[in-house]
Amino acid sequence: MQRRFVQPYLYSAAVFTVALSAFLSGQTGLAQSIHVPDVQQVNSVQLGVPLSGVVTIQSDVFFRDSAFGKRVAGELEAEGAVLTAENRQIEGALRAEEQELAVRRSQMEPEAFRRLADAFDQKVQATRRAQEQKLREINELGDVARREFLQAADPILLAIMREAGAGAILEKSTVFRSSEATDITQLAISRIDAVLGDGSTSPEIGE
């Protein structure tokens, strides 16, 4: 901000009278009536940081739209595609086995067929549990990656809080009403991308 230095003789008589009156009453005079912008506030505005006691963030968007989140989503999608293909292959094999068992039924004693049918049913149930466990593990990888991301983002969010002069960051979806100016999501994404990137230099998720 460019300062303007005003010569004393340019002050009006009214301003001089106010200053003199304040001085005689033991006050600090014009020094208190002139607002001097806080340096931190000026810097925060220049950096695009909202000045607010409370700021908000869309945590899902923060993770999803970050470079790190996009990489993790791609990896999880690839893992899911592999599992889907595997499930289809297993399903086809079990269906063929079921059809073969149905053909053999008329050629077998009821008790013998029941034993084969029970064994097949157990095989199907065990296979389903194994594939469901694989799906849970994939989902867990996503949860772990999100926690690691938020942990890495913590000092960045704290820095934004300090720059904004805020005492808290609230989840935007839980706030009844707020100004868009208090939303730091995009700012936080740009900051975390600059520091963390897509995280590809770190071990891949699950390793």
pLDDT tens, residue by residue, 84-114: 999 999 999 999 999 999 999 989 999 999 9
Q: Is residue 67 part of a domain?
A: yes
pLDDT tens, residue by residue, 141-183: 999 999 999 999 999 999 999 998 999 999 999 888 878 888 9
Identify the band that residue 24 occupies on the pLDDT scale cut at 50, 70 and 90: very low
Q: Is residue 141 part of a domain?
A: yes
Q: How far apart are alpha carbons 57 and 39 in whole angstroms?
A: 25
Range of the domain at 151: 54-196
Query: pTM of the full predicted structure?
Result: 0.67
Q: Is residue 128 part of a domain?
A: yes
Number of domains in the chain: 2
Judge if 18 and 78 occupy the same domain.
no
State the maximum Cα–Cα separation within the chain, in Å, rounded to a whole number: 119
Judge if 19 and 91 occupy the same domain.
no
Q: Is residue 70 part of a domain?
A: yes
Judge if 161 and 60 occupy the same domain.
yes
Judge if 32 and 69 occupy the same domain.
no
Q: Is residue 207 part of a domain?
A: no
